[in-house]
Structure 1
Amino acid sequence: MDYPERYELVFQAPAVEDDVVVVRRTERAGAGGYPVYEDESGIVRAEISDRGEVRMLASGGHQAPRTPLLARPLGARERAPGPQ
């Protein structure tokens, strides 16, 4: 299966615009056998299935990761926001 290289994870933020985090595919696989994606800091980590189902992974102790509202694949021609 050919998985997207990047996703935008959209989290609901109370009283402001939604929070969007871009994650990239790593070489690791999660417990479900799907690729693990993480942001540049390595703090936001998620296993994303071939159907776009997201399982957030804790990257450190005392973390309680929220599940995003949406995981949106980014195509090869799309650029993530911020410095490239």
Structure 2
Amino acid sequence: MADRDDAYELVFTDAGDAGTGAQDVVPVHRTDRKGPGGHPIYADDTGIVQAEISDRGEVRMIASGAHQHPASGVSARPLG
């Protein structure tokens, strides 16, 4: 889709015991692959962090290794 953003920041919020709400931000760019929902997969420069991002900004993390457990509660912000 031509109107889809080519890059996002994935925002991982830690709602751990301290309740600090600390955030980690990882920039990702669109790849030529599609995820299980038919939306583009975005990846960081290492290829380790991968996510399918829908046209509504919904994020589905994609495991890139056998021992990964994809994070939940991740949001995406368009870069641009």
Give structure 2 stretches of 5+ with no counterpart.
none
Quick one: distance in 1 between partners of 2:7 and 2:73? 15
The answer to whether the 8 A contact 2:41-2:53 is kept is yes
Matched positions, count: 75
State the TM-score, normalizing by the size of structure 1.
Answer: 0.80
State the TM-score, normalizing by the size of structure 2.
Answer: 0.84
Aligned to 1:6: 7
Quick one: distance in 2 between partners of 1:38 and 1:20? 13
Structure with higher strand content: 2
Give structure 1 stretches of 5+ with no counterpart.
76-84
Give SS of 1:52's match. Answer: coil
Q: How do residues 15-26 of structure 1 correspond to structure 2 at under 5 angstroms? A: 15=20, 17-26=22-31
**Bigger mean CA offset, 29-38 vs 63-72:** 63-72
1:57 pairs with 2:62: yes
Quick one: distance in 1 between partners of 2:74 and 2:39? 19
- Between the two proteins, what is the percent identity of the paired residues? 60
RMSD: 1.5
